[in-house]
């Protein structure tokens, strides 16, 4: 595996979706190539950063929405059963 290929598949490596042979080649390359090793770790950290921060940004659905959903589902149900 050459550096260029490592760059092509690095995300799929991190997703755990490389086949066993490719994965082995990838691991082997990282042991020999500090550049690719560092970049792989950086991708990993960027992903963790994003996940953490976007999750923090997320808020629970507002209560009024939940009420609205439940209400409209039930209204819909009643409408249906009335038919």
Partner 1 sequence: MKTAVANEHEQGWDFERAAMPYVDSLYNTAYRMTRNSEDAEDLVQETYLKAYKYYDKFEEGTNFKAWLFKIMKNTFINNYRKKKLTPHKIDFSEIEESYERVIQKNAPDLIKDPETEIFQDMMDEDVKRALDSLPHDYKMVVLLADIEGFSYKEIAEILDCPVGTVMSRLYRGRKMLERTLLEYARKYGYIRGEAEPAKMRSRKDEAKPRKKKDGAGDEPEAQEPEENEEAVLFTGTEDEEFEFEVEETEEEQFEVE
Dist CA 25 CA 6 (whole Å): 9
Residue count at the site for partner 1 (CB under 8 A)? 45
- Can residue 21 be called a binding residue for partner 1 (CB under 8 A)? no
Instruction: Judge contact between 6 and 36, C-beta under 8 A.
Output: yes
- Can residue 41 be called a binding residue for partner 1 (CB under 8 A)? yes
Dist CA 14 CA 23 (whole Å): 10
Dist CA 7 CA 83 (whole Å): 60
Q: Which of 10, 13, 26, 36 binds Zn ion (CB under 5 A)?
A: 36
Q: Which of 9, 18, 25, 33 binds Zn ion (CB under 5 A)?
A: 33
Best CA proximity match to 19, nearest among 39, 40, 44, 1: 1
Residues at the contact surface with partner 1, assessed by CB under 8 A = 2-5, 7-9, 11-12, 15, 17, 35, 38-39, 41-43, 45-47, 49-51, 53-62, 65-66, 68-70, 72-74, 76-77, 80-81
């Amino acid at each position: 595996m050459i550096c260029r290929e490592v760059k092509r598949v690095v995300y799929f490596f991190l997703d755990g979706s490389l086949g066993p042979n490719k994965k082995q080649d990838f691991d082997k390359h990282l042991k020999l190539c500090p550049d690719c090793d560092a970049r792989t770790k950086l991708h990993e950290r960027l992903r963790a950063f994003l996940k953490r921060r976007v999750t923090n940004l997320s808020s629970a659905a507002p209560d009024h929405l939940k009420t609205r959903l439940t209400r409209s589902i039930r209204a819909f149900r009643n409408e249906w059963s009335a038919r």
